[in-house]
Amino acid sequence: MNSIMTLIRLLKWLAAAFLALIILAVMFIALFGWNWLRGPIERSTAEKTGRVLAIHGDLTVKFDWPWPRLRADSVTFANPDWAKEKQMLTADTVDITLDLSQLLRRKIVFPDVSLVRPAVFLEQSADGRKSWLLDRNQQDEGARIQIDRLMLDQGTLGYDDAANKTRIRSDFTTMRPPSGGATDAGVTFSASGQYKGLALQARGSGGPVLAIRDERTPYPLKVEASIGKTSVRANGTVTGLLTFSAVDLRMALRGESLDQLFPVLGIALPATPPYTTEGHLQHSGTVWRYEKFSGRVGGSDIAGLLQVDTNGKRPALTAEMDSKLLDLADLGPLIGSRPGSAAQAVSRAATGAAKPGRVLPDLPFQTDRWHSVDAEVRLRAKTLRRAKELPLEDFATHLTLRDAVLKLEPLTFGLAGGQLNAAISLDGRQDPIRATAQIRARKILLAQLFPTVELSKSSIGQVNGDFDLVGQGNSVGRMLASANGKVGLVVAGGEISKLMMEKVGLHLWEILQLSLTGDKQVKLRCAVVDFEVRNGRMNTDALIFDTEITTVIGTGNIDLGQETLDLTLNQKTKITSPLALRSPIYIRGNFAKPVVQVDTARVASRALGALALGLINPLLALMPLIDAGPGKDSDCAQLVRDATALARSENKKEAPRK
């Protein structure tokens, strides 16, 4: 009994002592507040991080299990010594809730943080240290404070990353409704600086609370920004501001070229003319989709779907795009053509510039970026806007990029009523690029092939051909300059303008007749163009154009490296012409300005002979100008054999190419 009474007295004494301690603590806090905690908190922070935390104003604590709330006024927290900015945080007021259950596991978690007029400067050093990591070396990813929700009221945020050429400064202001309540408060912000070496300007607005780790609640966001020469507008929601677990934005892009997005996205996109596009950006899991987008690239309209899946060793891009009207000039940058290069080359040649104009695309492909993405893109165009000299029609291609090997297979054009089908492969794993091209021309109408040549409009007949080339180089021009393979075209049967063939045959009397009476059709028996391509030099194996009135046989070569022409056309008439010059036709010059001329010495010799005979007898003056002709058609197969033998003998006479 005595032991029970003793125990009761002990419990009463302990209860009284505990109550007294509570009363003393309450009286101490009432008299002195919570400011006595500032010193222990500052000393503990310095011991753990090596950085100074200073609470210059009042500190208050409100207990609410398991999230007590701490409020401190006039707070600063230093950056590491290596950082450019002295303080990582300064704020008029810091209001936080602390998760005690996580603290018992030695993790610092702040479910809510509210900062009044803060200035926050975060920095990452060139060697990878991060100022927001709280270990002494700023390298332990686990040594950080986890913040779930953040509210900012009028302040500045800065971020520096010298290794990635990034320096951003942002100002933000809290908007409050007219009633003064905070329920519908939001944040407006503006930012400027540099992002990955590109000038950055941005402004926008968002919700009142940054739900940084909330994976369920969408955060409203509206932003207008420019990065380098690219502008973006976006309006919608983002869920999980650290991980972007879900994105639902209406987005518009505008820029000078899609390849300028590479520093931002880290994905290789093709060079293009200026573009603008608007669509719906969605993200879930590992998939980003830019769907139902439409816009323009240069003078072409574009619409479709683009998707990127990041679940792999590299992002996988797929796209389905359609164009109602595709401007052929907009494809130029994709193959390395300089803007306006062809027109400028012709202009330089026409003005007699010292250096002849270059026509073939010569800008190198950026193969170092091809390893950044695998791609599968389909593009179709209903109508083409093109030069009158290019009778191209509908267009479609399937592009694949796998392990830095780019393929266009198929690449199809409608050409002059027929079809041009190509399979092109560029192996970017090699330096220089190894390129292969197989092109098949089928059922191309001769009458439509040269739409600017008036004399060919009444011509009929189909052209078929094959181009098989292999080359090396980092631009289209260099690939062709090193190309090897075969180029062949055949026209079997049909009809063609008689006036055009008389002009080729230099039959002056017939040209005069047809000019007065009107053009007629003559039978086209066959036409064969066959080149052997060696190291970028196209040597004629056969170049034949055989009609009822004239056979034209050509020899010479085309140099793809120098972009020069050196062809000779010899005519063999099949009719007697009373007035003909009978001179070879030479095609010389460069691609930008080819020159077609006759052998002036031979023409002058024939004219002088006619003049001399005319002095003896006027009727004799026509004798040197009469072309009697062989009088019968030649066998096309034999013509090909003869032309091939002639071309090879001419090629052997040429000096080896240096």
pLDDT digits (tens, 9 = 90+) for 488-512: 888 766 777 777 766 766 666 566 6
Instruction: Answer yes or no: is pLDDT of 277 > 80.
Output: yes
**Selection from 521, 556, 530, 486 nearest residue 640 by Cα:** 530
Mean pLDDT of 568-579: 70
- Number of domains the chain is built from: 2
Instruction: Answer yes or no: is pLDDT of 603 > 90.
Output: no
- Report yes or no: 67 and 111 within 8 Å, Cβ to Cβ: yes
Instruction: Answer yes or no: is pLDDT of 399 > 90.
Output: yes
User: Band of the pLDDT at 621, cuts 50, 70, 90?
Assistant: very low
Tell me the three state secondary structure of residue 209.
Answer: coil
The pLDDT value recorded for residue 20 is 52
Q: Is 398 part of any domain?
A: no
Q: Is 399 part of any domain?
A: no
User: Band of the pLDDT at 204, cuts 50, 70, 90?
Assistant: very high
In the chain, what percentage of residues exceed pLDDT 70?
A: 73
Instruction: Answer yes or no: is pLDDT of 569 > 60.
Output: yes
Q: Is 364 part of any domain?
A: no
Q: Is 401 part of any domain?
A: no
Instruction: Answer whether the bond into residue 432 is a cis peptide, omega within 30°.
Output: yes
Three-state secondary structure along 533-576? Answer: EECCEEEEEEEEEEECCEEEEEEEEEECCCCEEEEEEEEEECCC
Question: Would you give the DSSP letter of residue 82?
Answer: T
Output 638 or 619, whichever has higher pLDDT. 638
Instruction: Answer yes or no: is pLDDT of 32 > 60.
Output: no
d(CA 626, CA 578): 4
Question: Would you give the DSSP letter of residue 410?
Answer: E
The pLDDT value recorded for residue 380 is 93
The token pair that represents 390 in the structure block: 């290019």
Q: Is 4 part of any domain?
A: no
Q: Kindly compute the dihedral angle of the four CA atoms of residues 273, 276, 279, 284, in this order, to the nearest 10 degrees.
A: 60
Last residue of a domain, which of 109, 139, 164? Answer: 164
Using CB atoms within 10 Å of the CB of residue 155, give its burial: 0 to 12 exposed, 13 to 18 middle, 19+ buried: buried
Mean pLDDT score of the chain, rounded to an integer?
Answer: 80
DSSP string, 280-303: EEEEETTEEEEEEEEEEETTEEEE
d(CA 361, CA 271): 13
**Helix 508-517 to helix 498-505 angle, to the nearest 10 degrees?**
160
- In one-letter notation, the amino acid at residue 246 is A
Residue 22 sits at φ, ψ, to 5 deg, of -65, -45
Helices (H), 211-354: 262-265, 341-350
Pairing of strands 155-161, 119-124: parallel
Q: Is 634 part of any domain?
A: yes
Q: Between vectors from CA 82 to CA 78 and to CA 88, what angle results, nearest 5°?
A: 25
Q: Could you tell me the CA-to-CA distances from 249 to 238, 444, 631 in Å, in that order?
A: 8, 47, 78
- Report yes or no: 275 and 300 within 8 Å, Cβ to Cβ: no
Mean pLDDT of 235-246: 87
Instruction: Answer yes or no: is pLDDT of 455 > 50.
Output: no
d(CA 64, CA 112): 13
Last residue of a domain, which of 135, 164, 193? Answer: 164
Q: Is 467 part of any domain?
A: no
**Selection from 275, 282, 330 nearest residue 303 by Cα:** 275
The residue segments making up the domain with residue 541 are 483-653
User: Band of the pLDDT at 530, cuts 50, 70, 90?
Assistant: confident
Instruction: Answer whether the bond into residue 66 is a cis peptide, omega within 30°.
Output: yes
**Selection from 447, 384, 395, 398 nearest residue 420 by Cα:** 395
User: Band of the pLDDT at 644, cuts 50, 70, 90?
Assistant: low
Tell me the three state secondary structure of residue 231.
Answer: strand
**Selection from 391, 348, 362 nearest residue 593 by Cα:** 348
Question: Would you give the DSSP letter of residue 125?
Answer: -
Q: Between vectors from CA 259 to CA 255 and to CA 265, what angle results, nearest 5°?
A: 90
**Taking the CB of residue 493, how many other CB atoms lie within 10 A of it?**
12
The pLDDT value recorded for residue 193 is 96
Instruction: Answer yes or no: is pLDDT of 164 > 80.
Output: yes
Q: Is 556 part of any domain?
A: yes
Last residue of a domain, which of 164, 187, 219? Answer: 164
Per-residue b or e along 259-291, where b marks 16 or more CB atoms closer than 10 Å to that residue's CB? bbbbbeeebbbbbbbebebebebbbeeeebbbe
Three-state secondary structure along 581-635? Answer: CCCCEEEEEECCCEEEEECHHHHHHHHHHHHHHHHHCHHHHHHHHCECCCCCCCC
Cα 247 from chain centroid (whole Å): 24
Instruction: Answer whether the bond into residue 68 is a cis peptide, omega within 30°.
Output: no
The pLDDT value recorded for residue 343 is 43
Q: Kindly compute the dihedral angle of the four CA atoms of residues 121, 122, 125, 129, in this order, to the nearest 10 degrees.
A: 140
The pLDDT value recorded for residue 506 is 65
- Report yes or no: 564 and 657 within 8 Å, Cβ to Cβ: no
